[in-house]
Amino acid sequence: MPKTLFDKIWESHVVHTESSGSTLLYIDRHLIHEVTSPQAFEGLRLTHRKVRRPDLTFATMDHNVPTEDRFNIKDPISRAQIEALEQNCRDFGIKLYDLKSTQQGIVHVIGPELGLTLPGTTIVCGDSHTSTHGAFGALAFGIGTSEVEHVLATQCLVQKRPKTFQVEFTGQLPKGVRSKDLILKLIGQIGTAGATGHVLEYTGPAIRALSMEARMTVCNMSIEAGAKAGLIAPDDTTVQYLTGREFVPKAKQFDQSALYWKSLVSDPGASYDRTLTINASELAPQVTWGTNPGMVMDVTGVIPAPDKVPGISVRDAERAMEYMGLKPGTKIEDIAIDTVFIGSCTNSRIEDLRAAAQIFKDKKVNTKVRTLIVPGSQQVKRQAESEGLDKIFRAAGADWRESGCSMCLAMNPDQLQPEERCASTSNRNFEGRQGKGGRTHLVSPEMAAAAAIAGHFVDIRKWL
């Protein structure tokens, strides 16, 4: 029987299946960070259990870390959490990319960078955006802290087989339209629970044409459609990206691995539980207007009446508009912003920064706008600096920071004030996500950069 990419990865990781269908699934890579792991280690200590495979477990600190004076964590509770991770990694023999490491960064940025993320593997992390790693054809998904403890103790997880959902993007993305727009469009179309219980597989020429970094942006936001994971079959682009990375097999073993990786495609005729086709050629830059990523529209759009929002109840649409301080009839391009955040595991990689830098070059950030540019990792930061991107950002009047999650979730000092409006390249526009009362609009890096310069949203296609 023809198999999907998902079937192939799943079946090669089954340790045991119960008659109930409950499966013990082997985990190849376990990534951990400071926020969702302390209680898991506490659980191990209480039950006198060990970490089964510290060699398959990798840790970094990203959520809490300051992006200015990074070695000086002023908040004592944040500091305690960072110190707890250091202690836990020491006690259990786990490799930690700490603040002093030249490879520290957002967990979903450094995994691929280091070559920890490999096609055909299973990857988990106590973080919902673990779906990012699916861009390599890895089955990667977020788990809770109890499951983190389970993986630490057993290197396995108890799972029920999810359903599959193929989304084919035909055509080619038009100029000025990025992979961020492609995934936002999909979420707008199927809703934030549209893929719950499913693993999404993205296929079609528009996906094939994307770079690895752009694919990561797509898979990253799979969770915002409710999906368990996102997958893109490995191809030459994938193999090219992996070449020479630290944890990737070398020499002859690389060639053999590459052959295997490229076999990881859905067979012709393989069936999915659901399918959907979207024509990428027809897409426009997207801007979210509400309080979840499904509340999104073309940049050319106008805020609708609350009873005219498809798939969202009038009550929830009204609530969202009230929170966002928006009135029906307002053009997206007329919405003025106070802050721009370019960063997060969605859009903080070198290509994202290059794209933003192109827009900022020889221009100035609007005097009313605070602009924060936060590279996803120390490696991204060094690369950007070697290309002189930091100079472009600074010359434009933007703030160039150290790597971390930063204003994506505002656990560190980078936060919005109540009613401040932000154009953000991150993945969640939930109420209060970037600071209590803060208003978030999700966009691509180019759209964020253009908004920083204009002081309001602009259709980036007019600038190209």
Q: Please, are residues 56 and 27 in contact by the beta-carbon 8 Å criterion? A: yes
Among 147, 351, 352, 459, binds another protein (CB under 8 A): 147
Identity of the residue numbered 7: D
Partner whose binding site includes residue 49, from ligand SF4, another protein, none (CB under 5 to 8 Å by kind): another protein
Residues in the interface with another protein (CB under 8 A) total: 77
Rounded to the nearest whole angstrom, what is the least distance from the CB of residue 78 to ligand SF4 in the complex? Answer: 14
Among 280, 409, 442, 448, binds ligand SF4 (CB under 6 A): 409
Task: Order the strands of the 23-26 sheet from edge to edge.
Answer: 14-17, 23-26, 156-159
Rounded (10°) CA dihedral 37, 41, 43, 44 = 140
Q: Supply the minimum distance, in Å, between the C-beta of residue 379 and ligand SF4.
A: 16
According to CB under 8 A, which one of 168, 431, 455, 458 is a site residue for another protein? 431
Judge contact between 288 and 440, C-beta under 8 A.
yes
When asked if residue 118 is in the footprint of another protein (CB under 8 A), the reply is: yes
CA distances from 331 to 93, 303, 457 (A): 55, 6, 10
Residue 342 within binding range of ligand SF4, rule CB under 6 A: no
Residue count, binding to ligand SF4 (CB under 6 A) = 13
123 near 138, Cβ under 8 Å?
yes
CA distance 108 to 426: 13
Binding window for another protein (CB under 8 A); candidates: 34-42, 94-102, 371-379, 396-404: 34-42
- With binding defined as CB under 8 A, does residue 74 bind another protein? no
CB atoms within 10 A of CB 71: 9
Q: For the segment 42-61, give every residue that binds another protein (CB under 8 A).
A: 42, 47, 49, 52, 56
Q: Nearer Cβ to ligand SF4, position 8 or 63? A: 63
Nearest distance from C-beta of residue 256 to another protein, angstroms = 7
Identify each DSSP E strand in 144-285 by its residue range: 156-159, 163-170, 198-203, 229-231, 274-279
Backbone φ and ψ for 97, nearest 5 degrees, come out as: -95, 90
Contact track, ligand SF4, 98-137, x by CB under 6 A? --------x-x------------------x-x--------
327 binds another protein (CB under 8 A): no
From 65-73, 297-305, 405-413, 434-442, give the range in contact with ligand SF4 by CB under 6 A.
405-413
Q: How far apart are CA 351 and CA 356, in angstroms?
A: 9
Q: Is 345 in the site for ligand SF4 (CB under 6 A)?
A: yes
Nearest distance, CB of residue 422 and ligand SF4, angstroms: 14
CA–CA distances in Å: residue 373 to residues 34, 396, 424: 23, 12, 10
Look at strands 296-298 and 57-60 and give their pairing.
unpaired
User: Contact between 168 and another protein (CB under 8 A)?
Assistant: no
Beta bridge partners of 231: 201
Q: Which of residues 46-85 bind ligand SF4 (CB under 6 A)?
A: 62-63
Judged by CB under 8 A, the stretch of 209-217, 308-316, 329-337, 443-451 that binds another protein is: 308-316
Residue 217 interacts with, from another protein, ligand SF4, none (CB under 5-8 Å by kind): none
Shortest Å, Cβ 377 to ligand SF4 = 11
Residue 438, judged by CB atoms within 10 A of its CB (0-12, 13-18, 19+), counts as: buried
DSSP string spanning 347-403?
S-SHHHHHHHHHHHTT----TT-EEEE--SBHHHHHHHHHTTHHHHHHHHT-EE--S
User: Whose Cβ is closer to another protein: residue 176's or residue 226's?
Assistant: 226
Which partner in another protein, ligand SF4, none is near 408 (CB below 5 to 8 A by kind)? ligand SF4
75 binding another protein? (CB under 8 A): yes
Site residues for ligand SF4 per CB under 6 A: 62-63, 106, 108, 127, 129, 344-345, 405, 408-409, 426-427
